[in-house]
Amino acid sequence: MSELSAKTVNKDLTETGWLEIVRQQVGSLRFGVVEIVVHDSRVTQIEKTERLRLDKPTTETRSNRGD
């Protein structure tokens, strides 16, 4: 890839492409966080932390345990 086209790709990614990446990351989460890191007014990093939520025990299960 030439230097000019590499700059164009990087410019596209930093100006508009990051928004699509954020949409994809948010769309793939059920519970979690998508964090956008900015340096010098530019998005430089996107982090995703996903949480696994476990179902709460039912009241029947609690009463059987003697709580």
Taking only the tens place, the pLDDT of each residue in 5-39 is 445 445 555 566 899 999 999 999 999 999 999 99
Say yes or no to pLDDT of 67 above 90.
Answer: no
Determine contact, residues 49/32, Cβ cutoff 8 Å. yes
Determine contact, residues 30/54, Cβ cutoff 8 Å. no
Q: What pLDDT, on a 0 to 100 scale, did the predictor assign at position 19?
A: 92
Q: What pLDDT, on a 0 to 100 scale, did the predictor assign at position 3?
A: 44
- More confident site: 46 or 60: 46
Query: Where do the domains of the chain lie?
Result: 3-51
Q: What pLDDT, on a 0 to 100 scale, did the predictor assign at position 65?
A: 60
- Please give the Cα distance from 46 to 66 (Å, whole number): 46
| Backbone angle region of 53, left / alpha / beta, with phi > 0 → left and psi within -120 to 50 → alpha | beta
Q: Which of 31, 26, 28, 29 is nearest to 54 (CA)?
A: 31
Report residue 47 CA to chain centroid gap: 5
